[in-house]
Amino acid sequence: MVMKYSYDFLLLEFKDVYYIVNKVFEEEEIRLVNSNLIKFIKEIIIKAHLNNKIFYNSENSFSKNLEILYKRNIIPYDLMRYISSYIEDLYYYKKILTTKVKDQGDYREKLINEDIVYNACVWLVVSSGEEDYSLFVNNLNEDEKIVFNKHLNNIEIDFKYNTAYEDEDEDEDEVEEDIDEEDVESRESKGGLNFLGFDDIEDNSLENEFDDEDITSEEYLLTGELYYLGKNLDKDYYKAKEYFEKAAKEGNEHAESYLGLFYEKGYGGEKNIEKALYWYKKAALKGNIFSQYSLGFIYYEGKEVEKNSQYSFKWYSEAAQSGFAPAQYALSYLYKNGEGCEKSNFKAYYWLEESADNDFEDSFYILGQSYLEGKEIELDYNKAFHYFSKGASKKDKNSLEGLGDMYYFGLYVKEDKKKAFEYYNESIAEGNIGLYYKLGNLYEESNDIKMALMNYYKGCANGDLKSVQRLGIMYYYGEGVQEDKDKGFEYLGIAADSEDPHSLYLIGKVYLEEGREEDKDEEKEEGLEYLRKAYKRGSVYAAEALANEGIKSFLNNEYYKELDILSYVNKILDGNLISGYYYYALLFHYGIGVEVNDETAFINLVQGAKKGHKGAMEKLVEWYTEGIFVNKDMSLADKWARKLFE
């Protein structure tokens, strides 16, 4: 779509708004056009608040925050009205666009009202920018000059605007009359936004337009927020709480929600979960989405109240259905795990996508990875790329890595290793230090050891344990580099100092299996001690090594603890290692911690052998050759011997 106006003036102070506007005009997908327009309006409202040192309350509707700007004489009434109507229409179209739209062009024309977009941008820079924008006027075309002069000189804005609810065949005079005479009551009857609460405006002074009660409630709330956030006032939780209490007495749901937060966290003195729940519930029953979400979180977490997944589900659902993205994300999690509701993968991903549509950043990577892997949801590289791209635009490190993977392996996009590494490096710049290890692996696979080492060194310098572990293994065993056991042992020691289970396992394995000749028995015991530490911290590989050592001790008539060996083998089985079948078979064959049962032993040997465990195959060759439990059968012995050597 060709732009009627130039928006280059935004680049001076409002680059992010400039980029959003350009996305609106460049985007092909009509639903994303709608989403970007909503994002654009949200961004200019936030900028206007922050640049004018007004607290932006994210719980408020757009129209409510526009109303606050109007009260502060920052936005003129006519522009506020046009933008509010436009917001209403965008959400109206959003509902329509949830179904597949055939005529994209027709809806594009309806969605993009460039007069409103341009006026909003000019208003933003004039009202909230620090530069003197009157200096730009001479470089503009005639249409642009008219708009700038109106905002610079506070002249009434008079462009025509048809709402989505009006008959498109209505003549312009009727439309203008409808807009001028439309009152709050009629907007509410159409499901519109009550953004002022009064019918006739005579001037910009609000003192005569609101009764004292309305002003008091809102002013109490606003003052409380200023004390709470330390905006224009010294931060003071006690004073903030006093003002929230005054506003709450008058039934202000936002103040009630704040009191819930204050009692939950102990801000302003008393921490009391019962009072927190009381205030949250008062506000939640009035439809306050933050309170609904907070109740869902408190009941799910179950720290200060009894955990109740059903209550959590109820309140998350309330907030989610009102469009609160964090609640939609949380509800997705409940459906995924069947907590407080029937488990439903379909509903889990439905709500996850809803939260993503509402720009909840945590959703982008999960959706991208899910569509990329195709495990929990149907494989779809197109959608994976879409969600990774959305996350990457927010500088999400995991989404940046996901995009890198798609370019590296040529999934949906043409393989482009250079571009892949650009995304990988950007992900690292955003704090994804674990990516150093992954890049090292990729370089190793392509036999570029120099670059692999460089990434492992960088990972090591930045505290990535896997990189430290890999350097230790490479040098100790001479994998891709000249063997240097001292250097390798040094890196493994650095990793083990972290008490990380796998690091403890690696150094324990080195002590145990390699055993430097001097003080071999001492080093073996030290290796076993490292393995026991790793096992206690959950390492299934340490359990495997300890089970092996325990069974060897049994066979050599050395000291061992049967129950310990049994525990190690059970840990291996719980960890789904195929060696678990082999060790389980040995327990029953030798009667270690269990009664001797060669039938059970044989069944587990076959299971392990079928899954490719060499030790299990060797035992089957031995049993068929010597007739242990089974009849001698050289053909079956040969069969397993061939599989073993394959």
Q: Is pLDDT of 81 > 80? A: yes
* Reported confidence tier of residue 523, pLDDT bands at 50, 70, 90: confident
Give per-residue pLDDT as tens, 140-170. 898 899 989 888 887 655 554 444 444 334 3
* DSSP type of residue 13: T
* Reported confidence tier of residue 95, pLDDT bands at 50, 70, 90: low
CA–CA distance, 94 with 104 (Å, rounded to integer) = 13
DSSP run (H or E) holding 620: helix 614-626
The pTM assigned to this predicted structure is 0.61
CA–CA distance, 396 with 400 (Å, rounded to integer) = 6
Of residues 191 and 536, which shows the higher confidence score?
536
pLDDT at 59: 65
CA–CA distance, 153 with 145 (Å, rounded to integer) = 12
Task: Output the CA torsion sign for 73, 77, 78, 84.
Answer: positive
Of residues 104 and 44, which shows the higher confidence score?
44
- The residue among 263, 325, 265 whose CA lies nearest residue 290 is 325
Query: What is the mean pLDDT of the segment spanning 96-104?
Result: 54
Q: Does domain 213-430 have CATH number 1.25.40.10?
A: yes
Burial track 468-501 (b if 16+ CB lie within 10 A, e otherwise): bbbbbbbbbeeeeeeeeeebbbebbebbbeeebb
Query: What is the mean pLDDT of the segment spanning 419-437?
Result: 94
pLDDT at 229: 87
CA–CA distance, 70 with 53 (Å, rounded to integer) = 14
The percentage of residues in the chain with a pLDDT greater than 70, rounded to a whole number, is 86
CA–CA distance, 601 with 584 (Å, rounded to integer) = 7
CB 93 within 8 A of CB 103: no
Count of C-beta atoms within a 10 Å radius of residue 180: 9
Q: What is each CA distance from 168 to 71, 161, 162, in whole angstroms?
A: 33, 11, 8
Most trustworthy range by pLDDT among 5-14, 126-135, 446-455: 446-455
* Reported confidence tier of residue 515, pLDDT bands at 50, 70, 90: low
Give per-residue pLDDT as tens, 185-206. 322 332 322 222 323 323 333 3
Q: Is pLDDT of 207 > 70? A: no
Q: Is pLDDT of 398 > 90? A: yes
Transcribe 57-104 into DSSP letters: -TTS-HHHHHHHHHHTTSS-HHHHHHHHHHHHHHHHHHHHTTSPPS-H
CA–CA distance, 607 with 600 (Å, rounded to integer) = 11
For residue 134, the one-letter residue type is S
Q: Which residues contact 528 (CB under 8 A, 6 or more apart)?
A: 508, 512, 546, 549
Extents of the domains making up the chain: 8-189, 213-430, 578-646
Count of C-beta atoms within a 10 Å radius of residue 142: 6
Give per-residue pLDDT as tens, 404-418. 999 999 999 999 999
CB 514 within 8 A of CB 477: no
* Reported confidence tier of residue 93, pLDDT bands at 50, 70, 90: confident
CA–CA distance, 310 with 296 (Å, rounded to integer) = 9
CB 25 within 8 A of CB 37: no
CB 82 within 8 A of CB 161: yes
Q: Which residues contact 401 (CB under 8 A, 6 or more apart)?
A: 423, 424, 427, 432, 435, 438
Q: Is pLDDT of 78 > 70? A: yes
CA–CA distance, 461 with 449 (Å, rounded to integer) = 18
CB 407 within 8 A of CB 392: no
CB 383 within 8 A of CB 406: no
Of residues 460 and 156, which shows the higher confidence score?
460
CA–CA distance, 353 with 383 (Å, rounded to integer) = 11
Mean pLDDT over the full length of the chain: 85
User: Considering only 415-429, 551-565, 567-581, 628-642, which range has the smallest mean pLDDT?
Assistant: 551-565
